[in-house]
């Protein structure tokens, strides 16, 4: 472990564990859900709101921040923590997924990726070394190796090619990262939906001795059973004493299922994106505020929630805001959704500590099972 960064487990329940990731900027309670602040902002939220909901860490993105406003500019302005008024831990994705999913005219070779910006068509080069440099300029507390992520389903040959390239880039990333006091670098397990490739990737990365390990290349179109099978395959081959991060996941059911298999960290755009599109996440399931049946409903989203957005505003008012395109509607629903996710994680941590994760998982499933089809 780098000085100032460590991971400790305080309780376990089967494969699930709860504990803390210790960093100089604060501790991250695990299992943790990281709100996505792609461009240096969790959309529709103030930074202090995000922290008040229980978020110990947020995710920002190398690809987006290198395009605008630029990593060098952020560094000159005091780093990303100061820039976005978030003094707590930040994890930065390496940019590999966005290069695959967003960039235009992508050209891949052994050294990295040359691509055109999805914003203005300008040409950029992203290599493992440049990704590490950008993340360091941003001041990220947890950095991710540069990797190649392929969409699923894909051929075994394509998954193997991308996995082996990602392993070579992992070595380059680790060398470029060097020794950064108080900061950490995570490796990313790839291999598509192939168990043999996933195991090879996990073992090779473990030999490289990263500070933590992510499972990447999931939540990219595969069904849940495939995702869970890959977690079951990989986890036994990762060090137990280091954090396990499932990238880009996901739904409440995905999260509790993955926690039960040994995952400690999650991120997903789902709660914030849903909030901007009129969808509320609650312990009763998902509620579509665009639905006309909410127009005369005086009830709040959840009268027992600690979040004012869920407790103090009627569904009728939220419906009105959403149908009118009012920004406040996006803000309130995003606030509600992130509150629900952090309450879910707090519940997961308490359940593991009490040895009752299975009961908690059943309770979450039961609440969402009653979700009305019309919503």
Q: What is the mean pLDDT of the chain?
A: 95
Residue 95 φ/ψ, nearest 5 degrees: 100, -10
Fold of 6-267: TIM Barrel (3.20.20)
Please indicate whether residue 207 is annotated as part of the active site: no
- pLDDT at 374 (0 to 100): 47
pLDDT band of 372, cuts 50, 70, 90: low
pLDDT in tens, 339-368: 999 999 999 999 999 999 999 999 999 999
Rounded average pLDDT over 269-285: 97
Least confidently predicted of 108-112, 124-128, 151-155: 151-155
pLDDT in tens, 36-80: 999 999 999 999 999 999 999 999 999 999 999 999 999 999 999
Rounded average pLDDT over 300-306: 97
Separation between Cα atoms, residue 150 and residue 216, nearest integer Å: 10
Phi-psi region of 151 (alpha: psi -120 to 50; beta: other; left: phi over 0): beta
Comparing CA positions, the residue from 87, 86, 60, 52 lying closest to residue 309 is 52
Helices (H), the chain: 47-52, 62-67, 71-76, 80-83, 96-101, 128-138, 156-177, 195-208, 224-234, 252-259, 270-276, 308-311, 315-324, 327-354, 357-369
DSSP letters, 322-356, are: HHHT-HHHHHHHHHHHHHHHHHHHHHHHHHHHHT-
- pLDDT at 104 (0 to 100): 75
Q: What is the pTM of this model?
A: 0.96
SS3 readout for 110-141 = CCEEEEECCCCCCEEEECHHHHHHHHHHHCCC
Judge whether 293 and 316 are in contact, CB under 8 Å: no
Judge whether 210 and 142 are in contact, CB under 8 Å: no
Domain with CATH 3.20.20.105 in the chain: 6-267
Judge whether 29 and 56 are in contact, CB under 8 Å: yes
Q: How many CA atoms lie within 13 A of 291 on its CB side?
A: 14
pLDDT > 90 fraction of the chain, expressed in percent and rounded: 90
CB within 8 Å of 64: residues ≥ 6 apart: 38, 39, 98
Find the catalytic residue in 13, 141, 267, 302: 267
- pLDDT at 2 (0 to 100): 62
A 10 A CB-CB count for 288 gives 17
Copy the structure tokens of residue 370. 């009653």
- pLDDT at 287 (0 to 100): 97
Rounded average pLDDT over 107-123: 92
pLDDT band of 371, cuts 50, 70, 90: low
Please indicate whether residue 93 is annotated as part of the active site: yes
Q: How many CA atoms lie within 13 A of 283 on its CB side?
A: 20
Find the catalytic residue in 13, 93, 141, 302: 93
């Amino acid at each position: 472990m780098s000085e100032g960064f460590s991971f400790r487990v305080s309780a376990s329940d089967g494969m699930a564990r709860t504990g803390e990731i210790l960093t100089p900027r604060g501790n991250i309670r695990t299992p943790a859900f990281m709100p996505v602040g792609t461009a240096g902002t969790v959309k529709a939220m103030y930074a202090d709101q995000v922290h008040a909901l229980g978020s110990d860490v947020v995710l920002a993105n190398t690809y987006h921040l290198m395009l605008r406003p630029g990593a060098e500019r952020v560094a000159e302005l005091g780093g990303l923590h100061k820039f976005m008024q978030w003094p707590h831990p930040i994890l930065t994705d390496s940019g590999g997924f966005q290069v695959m999913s967003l960039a235009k005219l992508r050209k891949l070779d052994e050294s990295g990726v040359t691509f055109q910006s999805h914003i203005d068509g300008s040409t950029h080069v992203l290599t493992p070394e440049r990704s590490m440099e950008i993340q360091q300029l941003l001041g990220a507390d947890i950095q991710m190796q540069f990797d190649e992520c392929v969409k699923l389903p894909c051929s075994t040959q394509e998954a193997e090619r991308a996995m082996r390239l990602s392993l070579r880039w992992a070595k380059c990333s680790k060398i470029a990262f060097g020794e950064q006091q108080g900061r950490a670098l995570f490796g990313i397990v790839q291999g598509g939906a192939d168990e043999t490739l996933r195991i090879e990737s996990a073992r090779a990365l473990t030999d490289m001795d990263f500070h933590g390990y992510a499972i990447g290349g999931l939540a990219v179109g595969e069904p849940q059973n495939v995702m869970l099978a890959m977690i079951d395959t990989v986890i036994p081959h990762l060090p137990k004493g280091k954090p396990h991060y499932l990238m880009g996941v996901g739904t409440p059911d995905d999260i509790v299922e993955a926690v039960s298999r040994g995952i400690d960290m999650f991120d997903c755009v789902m709660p914030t994106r849903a909030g901007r599109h009129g969808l509320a996440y609650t312990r009763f399931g998902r509620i579509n505020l665009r639905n006309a049946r909410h127009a005369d409903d005086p009830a709040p989203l959840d009268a027992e929630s600690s979040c004012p957005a869920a407790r103090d505003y009627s569904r009728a008012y939220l419906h009105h805001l959403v149908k009118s395109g009012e920004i406040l509607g996006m803000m309130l629903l995003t606030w509600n959704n992130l509150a629900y996710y952090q309450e879910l994680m707090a519940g997961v941590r308490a359940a593991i500590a009490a040895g009752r994760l299975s009961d908690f998982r059943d309770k979450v499933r039961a609440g969402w099972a009653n979700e009305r089809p019309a919503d």
